[in-house]
Amino acid sequence: MRAIVEADVFSTIRVIQAALPGLHAQGQGHILGVSSSIGPVPFPLIGTDCATKAAVELPRESLQPTQQPAAR
């Protein structure tokens, strides 16, 4: 389970953290996340996969309002 969380969650967060300075420097950009619909509803036998999908989706969504350019 630790390897799955490391691969699905922490590696995604590290990539986003690495990309943000470059996106800020150029004043624009997008972070696209590819996931699945199984995150919000856990299914039997694939609970770890469901948990990691939700763990990636929510932080990415929470970044959106904080990364919007200031209104001028």
Which of the residue ranges 10-24, 26-40, 43-57 would you say has the lowest mean pLDDT?
A: 26-40
Residue range of the domain that includes 30: 2-65
Count of domains for the chain? 1
Q: How confident is the model at residue 72 (pLDDT cuts 50, 70, 90)?
A: very low
pLDDT number for residue 65: 63
Residue 15 within any structural domain of the chain: yes
Residue 50 confidence (pLDDT) above 70? yes
Choose among 41, 62, 58: nearest CA to 50: 41
27-43 pLDDT, tens per residue?
888 888 777 766 667 77
Residue 72 within any structural domain of the chain: no
Residue 51 within any structural domain of the chain: yes
Residue 10 within any structural domain of the chain: yes
Please name the residues in contact with 53: beta carbons below 8 A apart, sequence gap of 6 or more.
8, 35, 36, 38, 39
Residue 71 within any structural domain of the chain: no
Cα of first residue to Cα of last residue in the chain, in angstroms, is 46
Structure tokens at 8: 């699905």
The Cα–Cα gap between 9 and 51 comes to 10
